[in-house]
């Protein structure tokens, strides 16, 4: 599960999820519970909130502040509240089998009534009062993972960091596949599946989860790096296009400015150098030097080669081999295309200007006859 699924917000939770929210303030509690309930209502799911320390009025205030008409949902039965004494402690003691049967019955009822699923949330602080059967609570939490598997229901369990003893919270963490800290949602690398019992197996589970997290972090860094490079290339090409569209600049000025701007779009701009060759002329970026490895792309005017764009990396920074990367070749091809179009336009402008001058000359000659 940890290697394949990524989750980052309460709204991404869905059927089969068993979630522990370990919060440290009233505001953190509000930031989790409000979207959790809202999402369920919007998805046409039935929501049951099992209360203890916070009563119904407190949660209704959360929802009202978020613009949710909770009374309307309660009236039609989509949103309901029930105290722990009518659920977990029905009969005066905790019965894990009885609670699982109740959860199954409520889920079946919700589906029969046409709802898309069932979502539960509770604050089990009543455990700290040590009612009969409370010693079986963590067994119940662990069994819920099997219960929710492939069922159209889910649960969010609420734990106040400052109320619950650390040794219990450690058990909470080990029995919930998904954790919420603050308002941040994540797959739990320290979750231990119910079938894992021995210490070596638990250790291997944690190590595998940490390895999967490391692989994910590396992949995310790679994708972020690729995104950064694409954005940099896009910005560079936009700048080159603007330079090429400068109607008041000379051909020499445009090519000089493009040569100076091009290294900024490469992967290692501080080490990059660029050269534009056009006919017998060449235009160099700052600190240009020939490097052992240069990547070159032809400039075409029409279909005729008219010059080239050359880039390289100075020794000791960036690596000459970087210039041959295919992804940088895309930037060079695009830059060469911009230059080719610009040179074609400049040539057309010259031809038009020369034609106008010839016409003016002929008109003056006619006028002098």
pLDDT 10s digits, 115-149: 999 999 999 999 999 999 999 998 899 899 989 98
The correct CATH number of 223-362 out of 3.40.50.10320, 3.40.50.2000, 3.40.50.300, 3.30.450.40 is 3.30.450.40
Average pLDDT over the chain reads 89
Q: How far apart are CA 212 and CA 354, in angstroms?
A: 68
Token digits of residue 278: 């056009």
Which pLDDT score is estimated for 205?
A: 80
Confidence of residue 369 (pLDDT cuts 50, 70, 90): low
Show the beta-strand stretches assigned E in 60-107: 79-83
| CA angle in degrees (0–180, nearest 5) for 85-86-90 | 75
Coil, helix or strand at residue 23: strand
Range(s) for CATH 3.40.50.300 in the chain?
10-195
CA distance linking residue 188 with residue 179, whole number of Å: 6
Superfamily classification of domain 10-195: P-loop containing nucleotide triphosphate hydrolases (3.40.50.300)
Between the CA of residue 317 and those of 267, 270, 273, 291, 327, what are the distances in Å?
Answer: 11, 8, 12, 12, 19
Q: How many residues belong to the chain? A: 369
Q: What is the pLDDT of residue 243?
A: 94
Residues of the chain with CATH 3.30.450.40: 223-362
Smallest CA-to-CA distance from 309 within 268, 343, 350 is with 343
* Alpha-carbon gap, residue 9 to 26, rounded angstroms: 19
H-helix or E-strand spanning residue 65: helix 56-65
In percent, the amount of the chain with pLDDT more than 90 equals 61
């Amino acid at each position: 599960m940890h290697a394949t699924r990524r989750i980052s917000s309460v709204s991404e939770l869905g059927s089969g999820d068993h979630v522990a929210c370990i919060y440290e303030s009233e505001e953190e509690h509000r930031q989790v519970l409000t979207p959790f309930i809202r999402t369920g209502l919007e998805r046409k799911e039935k929501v049951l909130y099992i209360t203890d320390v916070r009563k119904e009025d407190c949660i209704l205030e959360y929802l009202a502040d978020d613009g949710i008409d909770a009374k309307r949902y309660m009236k039609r039965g989509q949103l309901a509240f029930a105290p722990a004494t009518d659920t977990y402690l029905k009969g005066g003691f905790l019965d894990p089998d009885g609670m699982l049967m109740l959860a199954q019955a409520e889920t079946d009822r919700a589906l029969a009534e046409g709802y898309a699923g069932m979502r539960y949330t509770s604050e089990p602080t009543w455990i700290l009062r040590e009612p009969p059967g409370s010693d079986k609570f963590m067994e119940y939490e662990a069994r819920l993972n099997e219960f929710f598997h492939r069922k159209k229901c889910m649960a969010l369990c609420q734990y106040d960091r400052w109320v619950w003893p650390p040794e219990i919270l450690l058990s909470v963490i080990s029995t919930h596949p998904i954790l919420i800290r603050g308002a941040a949602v994540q797959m739990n690398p320290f979750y231990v599946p119910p079938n894992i019992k021995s210490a070596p197996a638990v250790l291997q589970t944690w190590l595998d989860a940490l390895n999967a997290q490391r692989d994910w972090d590396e992949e995310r860094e790679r994708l972020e790096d690729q995104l950064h490079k694409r954005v940099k290339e896009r910005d560079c090409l936009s700048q080159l296009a603007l330079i090429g569209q400068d109607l008041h600049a000379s051909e020499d000025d445009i090519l000089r400015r493009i040569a100076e701007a091009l290294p900024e779009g490469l992967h290692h701009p501080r080490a990059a150098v660029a050269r534009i060759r056009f006919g017998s002329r060449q235009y160099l970026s700052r600190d240009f030097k020939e490097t052992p490895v240069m990547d070159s792309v032809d400039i075409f005017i029409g279909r005729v080669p008219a010059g080239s764009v050359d880039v390289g990396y100075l020794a000791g920074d960036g690596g000459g081999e970087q210039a041959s990367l295919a992804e940088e070749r895309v930037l060079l091809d695009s830059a060469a295309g911009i230059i080719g179009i610009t040179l074609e336009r400049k040539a057309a402008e010259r031809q038009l200007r020369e034609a106008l001058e010839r016409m003016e000359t002929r008109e003056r000659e006619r006028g002098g006859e």
